[in-house]
Amino acid sequence: MLNPLDSRHLYNMKSIMSIGGMICSRCKEGFQPHEEIVNSLGEVWHKECFVCCQCFRPFPDGLFFEFEQRKYCEYDFQVLYAPCCGRCKEFITGRVIKALKNNWHPHCFLCQLCQAPLADKGFFNNAGRALCFNCNAKEKAAAIGKNSCVKCHGIIDELPLRISGETYHPYHFNCSKCSIELTSDARMVNKELFCLRCHDNMGIPICGACHRPIEERVVHALGKQWHIEHFVCAKCEKPFLGHRHYEKRGVAYCETHYHQLFGNLCSFCNSVIVGDSIKIFQKAWCVNHFSCSGCDRKFPSKSRIFEFDLKPLCKKCFEKFPAELKKRLKKQYEQNLHEK
Mean pLDDT to the nearest integer, 319-338 = 74
Asked whether residue 174 carries a pLDDT value surpassing 90, the answer given is yes
Per-residue pLDDT, averaged over 145-158, amounts to 86
pLDDT on residue 106: 92
User: What is the pLDDT, as a whole number, of residue 79?
Assistant: 78
pLDDT class of 111 with cuts at 50, 70, 90: very high
Beta-sheet strands, E only, within 202-325: 218-221, 224-227, 246-248, 251-253, 277-280, 283-286, 306-308, 311-313
Tell me the average pLDDT of the chain: 80
Centre a 10 Å sphere on the Cβ of residue 164 and count the other Cβ atoms it contains: 7
User: What Cα–Cα distance (Å) separates residue 84 from each residue in 87, 92, 99, 115?
Assistant: 9, 6, 13, 20
What is the predicted pLDDT for the residue at 1? Answer: 28
Question: What average pLDDT does the segment 177-187 reach?
Answer: 88
Q: For position 6, what pLDDT does the model report? A: 31
Report how far apart, in Å, the C-alpha atoms of 155 and of each of 22, 136, 152, 263 are.
70, 11, 9, 57
pLDDT value at 15 more than 60:
no
Backbone angles phi, psi at 339, to 5 degrees: -65, -30
Assess whether pLDDT exceeds 60 at residue 7: no
Distances (CA, A) of 202 to 163, 170, 217, 272: 20, 21, 17, 44
Stronger pLDDT, 171 or 190, i.e. the higher one: 171
Q: What does the alpha-carbon distance between residue 145 and residue 122 come to, in Å, rounded to a whole number?
A: 26
- The per-residue pLDDT for 67 is 80
Tell me how far apart the alpha carbons of residues 232 and 222 are, in angstroms, rounded to a whole number: 12
* Percentage of the residues of the chain whose pLDDT score is greater than 70: 91
**Burial category of 174 from C-beta neighbours within 10 Å (exposed 0-12, middle 13-18, buried 19 and up):** middle
Q: What's the pLDDT at 339? A: 58
Instruction: Give tens-digit pLDDT for 76-95.
Output: 877 787 788 888 988 887 78
Q: How many CB atoms sit inside 10 A of residue 317's CB?
A: 17
In the chain, % of residues over pLDDT 90: 8
Evaluate if residue 289 carries a pLDDT over 50.
yes
- How far is the C-alpha of 192 from the C-alpha of 203, rounded, in Å? 16
The whole-number pLDDT of residue 337 equals 62
pLDDT band at 225 (very low <50, low <70, confident <90, very high): confident
User: Does the pLDDT value for residue 336 go beyond 70?
Assistant: no
Check pLDDT > 70 for residue 5. Answer: no
Characterize 115-147 residue by residue with b for buried, 16 or more Cβ atoms within 10 angstroms of its Cβ, and e for exposed. eeebbeeebbeeeeebbbbbbbbbbbbeeeeeb
- pLDDT score for 274: 66
Evaluate if residue 70 carries a pLDDT over 90.
no
Residue 171's SS3 state is helix
213 falls in which pLDDT band (50, 70, 90)? confident
Question: What is the DSSP secondary structure assignment for residue 3, as one 8-state letter?
Answer: P
pLDDT reading at 248 higher than 80: yes
How sure is the predictor about 263, in pLDDT bands with cuts at 50, 70 and 90? low
Q: What is the pLDDT of residue 109?
A: 93
Higher model confidence: residue 4 or residue 176?
A: 176
Average pLDDT over residues 167-178: 91
User: What is the DSSP annotation of 34-49?
Assistant: T--EEEETTEEEEGGG
Q: Once rounded to an integer, what is the mean pLDDT over residues 263-287? A: 74
Side-chain-side CA neighbours of residue 71 (13 Å): 18
The per-type count for the chain, helices as H runs and strands as E runs, is 7, 22
